[in-house]
Amino acid sequence: MDEIKLSQRIVRGEDLYTEFKLWPLHVNSLAETLVAFANTDGGQLLLGIDDAGNIIGVEEPDRTMRTVDNVAYNNCEPPLTVRQETVPYASGALVVIVNIPKGDQRPYRTNTGRYTVRTTSGRRPASRQELLRLFQASEHMYFDETLLSQTTRADLDSRAVERFFAQAQGYTLEQLGLSLERVLTNWKLAQLHHEELHLTLAGTLFFCDQPQYFVPYAYITAVRFTGGSPDRDPSDRKRIEGAMPRMLDDAMRFLNIHLPVRHDIHGMTPEIHLELPPDALREVLVNACAHRDYTIQSPIRLFIFDDRVEIRSPGGLPNTIT
């Protein structure tokens, strides 16, 4: 980076990808800053610039860069590799630019146990939800494979599994020649624990007759409001429960009841069409159920207004997606 580009960067100020710091900096604070960038989308730490964008400079750039390298390696877990450069300014001051990549072993933490993430105004401790998402993104944890130890073989709807398998594979379990338990284990819908079969979260949501007994918040609240605001009393409200396929069917049924339809006449036969495409509505419902954050104890909300349909899925967008 040259002086002109540095000046342009300073004028833009601090943001999600850029932070200004004066030097010297306490090693714990430096480690937390490096970890925050690595846990988010990466970025640049500009040393020798105050919060107002004034260039103060770094007196010993070589020593500064050695310190940054040592902190990145020794005070960050797993160790970070950063790339550094110095930029001379017209006033004679030297700025050290630390380029921190988005980490490929997230989540990172400091050697004092601090997990941090970037925000537009600096850094903050990572929330439980963000940590879970980071672990999921790094393939260290899949929440849908979490074992629900209170479930047993008796809670499983075997016929639902057999129907699903036949529909998905085109042949039956009997033709496959594997036991139901083996198939569920292979699909990571169940696990054998102390010789007892227990369902995972995904297995419970799909193949328990009443999964809400084990995951009370895994349901859909469907509401029809008159007008365009939720301030009025609803004209209809339904709590949609049951296994995942049944919930999707019941939610579509609720939409079919309350959405306006148009009638097209072709010859002597009328054709009825929903105001919104059923394929699009089902896709949004499937996404809400499949990609919601099941660590948050809140239901999916389906709101129908006179002018729109809203489907609200618990949880923010994963990690750093905007």
CATH of domain 3-137: 3.30.950.30
Strands (E), 155-274: 190-193, 196-199, 220-224, 236-240, 261-266, 269-274
Q: How far is CA 227 from the centre of its chain?
A: 32
Strands 43-47 and 18-21: parallel
| Whether the Cβ atoms of residue 183 and residue 166 lie closer than 8 Å to each other | no
Q: How far apart are the first and last CA of the chain?
A: 27
pTM (predicted TM-score): 0.60
Q: What tens-digit pLDDT sequence spans the chain (322 residues)? A: 777 788 888 888 999 999 999 999 999 999 999 999 999 999 999 999 998 889 999 999 999 999 999 999 999 999 999 999 999 987 789 999 999 999 888 889 999 999 999 988 789 999 887 887 777 666 555 678 888 889 999 999 999 998 888 888 888 888 888 888 888 998 899 988 777 899 999 999 999 989 999 999 999 999 999 988 888 889 999 999 999 999 999 999 999 999 988 767 776 677 777 888 999 999 999 999 988 888 788 999 999 999 999 999 988 766 555 6
Q: State the pLDDT at residue 140.
A: 58
CA–CA distance, 294 with 290 (Å, rounded to integer): 9
Extents of the domains making up the chain: 3-137, 144-213, 220-312
| Whether the Cβ atoms of residue 198 and residue 271 lie closer than 8 Å to each other | no
Q: State the pLDDT at residue 146.
A: 84
| Whether the Cβ atoms of residue 46 and residue 100 lie closer than 8 Å to each other | no
Q: State the pLDDT at residue 322.
A: 62
Nearest residue to 46 (alpha-carbon basis) of 61, 27, 35, 63:
61
Q: Which amino acid is residue 197, in one-letter code?
A: L
Q: State the pLDDT at residue 9.
A: 85
121 burial class (0-12, 13-18, 19+ CB within 10 angstroms)? exposed
